[in-house]
C-alpha cells in the first residue's frame, strides 16, 4: 500500500520488511511502530522504537533500516509543505530540525490509527480521490509533527494528556526543572512506589522519567541557545545541567550535533 505525489508519500506494508539499504532523502520522514519494535541506524548512532512510538528523520540524514516487526508505516513530507505549515502556525523556525529520539504521543497514535483503518478499507492507490486524501493527510500530519514532534522549533516539551498523578509530577518538573531531582523525589510527588512510577511514566510517555527531565531541560535551553549570545557553559548551568560535558553529550544524542553546531545551524545570524 503506497500513496505518493509531489508533496510526500504514505507507505504501509506487511511484506518486504527486510530492506537494509542506506537511504538519504530530501524529505522529512516519520516512522511509526504500530505493533512491535523497529530499529534504524544512522552514521552517528542507532534508533529504536517500541509499540506506539515514533520518530522523525530530518531531510538529508543517511539512515538504514535494521529491522521491523509485522508492519512498516512511514510518511514522507517534503520540506516545502512543512515549511508552509510552520509559517501558517506562526512558528519562526523556517526549517525545523526534529530531535532524533523516539517518542510517544496519543494524538499521533490516533492519527496513524485512523489512516491505517481508512486505507485498509478503501483501495486508493493511483486514484484521484487517493491524491486528495493524501494531500489532506500530509497537511494534517505536518501540523501534528510541528505541534507534538520535539525539535528545534520548540522551547518546551510537547503537551500530553495523561494520568493525574503523572501530571502532578510533570507540573512539578516543569516548575523547577533546573533543580536536582531523583527518581525517589518524583515518585514521592506522584505518591507512588518508585518502581511503579517509573513503569507507569514510561508507558504513558514513551520516555523514562529521568530522560524526560533531561530532554525537557534541553528543549528549554534551546531558546537561549538560538536567541542570545550567552556562552554554552552558562546556558547549560542555568538549565539544570551540572557540566558542559553532559550537556554536549545529550545534545549529540538528540541532534547529532554539539550545542555550538546547533546554534550555528539554527540560530539567529549575527
Under the rule (CB under 7 A), what is the footprint of DNA? 182-184, 193, 195-196, 198-199, 202, 208-211, 214, 232, 241-246, 248-250, 252-253, 258-261
Separation between Cα atoms, residue 207 and residue 12, nearest integer Å: 25
Between 92 and 242, CB nearer to DNA: 242
Other CB atoms within 10 A of residue 187 CB: 21
Rounded CA-CA distance 190/172 in Å is 10
Nearest approach in angstroms of CB 47 to DNA is 12
Residue 77 or 101 having the CB closest to DNA: 101
* Residue with the three cell numbers 516548575: 175
Alpha carbon distance 152, 80 (integer Å)? 17
Q: Which is nearer to DNA, 117 or 230 (CB)?
A: 230
- Least CB distance to DNA at residue 240 (A): 9
Residue 29 or 104: the one with the smaller Cβ distance to DNA is: 104
Nearest approach in angstroms of CB 142 to DNA is 29
- Report in angstroms how near the CB of residue 257 gets to DNA at its nearest: 8
Residue nearer to DNA on the CB measure, 153 or 256? 256
Task: Give CB contacts under 8 A, 24+ apart, made by 40-46.
Answer: 40/64, 40/65, 40/66, 41/65, 41/66, 42/100, 42/256, 44/252, 44/256, 45/100, 45/253, 45/256
CB of 198 to DNA, least distance (A): 4
Amino acid at each position: 500500500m503506497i500513496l505518493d505525489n509531489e508533496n510526500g508519500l504514505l507507505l504501509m506494508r506487511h511484506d518486504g520488511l527486510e530492506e537494509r539499504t542506506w537511504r538519504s532523502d530530501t524529505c522529512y520522514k516519520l516512522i511509526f511502530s504500530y505493533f512491535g519494535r523497529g530499529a534504524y541506524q544512522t552514521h552517528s548512532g542507532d534508533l529504536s522504537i517500541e509499540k506506539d512510538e515514533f520518530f522523525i528523520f530530518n531531510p538529508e540524514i543517511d539512515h538504514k533500516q535494521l529491522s521491523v516487526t509485522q508492519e512498516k508505516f512511514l510518511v514522507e513530507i517534503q520540506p516545502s509543505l512543512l515549511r508552509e505549515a510552520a509559517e501558517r502556525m506562526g512558528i519562526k523556525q523556517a526549517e525545523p530540525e526534529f530531535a532524533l529520539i523516539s517518542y510517544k504521543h496519543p494524538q499521533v497514535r490516533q492519527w496513524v490509527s485512523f489512516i491505517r483503518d481508512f486505507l485498509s478499507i478503501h483501495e486508493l492507490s493511483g486514484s484521484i480521490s487517493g491524491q486528495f486524501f493524501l494531500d489532506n493527510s500530509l497537511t494534517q500530519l505536518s501540523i501534528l509533527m510541528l505541534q507534538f514532534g520535539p525539535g528545534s522549533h520548540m522551547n518546551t516539551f510537547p503537551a500530553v494528556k495523561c494520568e493525574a498523578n503523572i501530571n502532578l509530577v510533570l507540573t512539578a518538573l516543569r516548575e523547577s526543572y533546573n533543580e536536582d531531582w531523583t527518581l525517589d523525589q518524583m515518585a514521592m510527588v506522584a505518591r507512588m512506589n518508585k518502581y511503579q512510577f517509573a513503569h507507569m511514566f514510561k508507558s504513558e510517555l514513551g520516555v523514562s522519567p529521568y530522560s524526560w527531565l533531561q530532554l525537557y531541560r534541553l528543549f528549554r535551553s534551546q531558546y537561549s541557545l538560538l536567541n542570545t549570545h550567552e556562552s554554552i557553559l552558562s546556558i547549560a548551568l542555568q538549565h539544570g545541567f551540572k557540566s558542559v560535558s553532559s550537556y554536549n553529550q545529550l545534545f549529540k544524542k538528540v541532534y547529532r550535533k554539539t550545542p555550538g553546531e546547533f546554534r550555528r545551524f539554527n540560530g539567529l545570524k549575527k
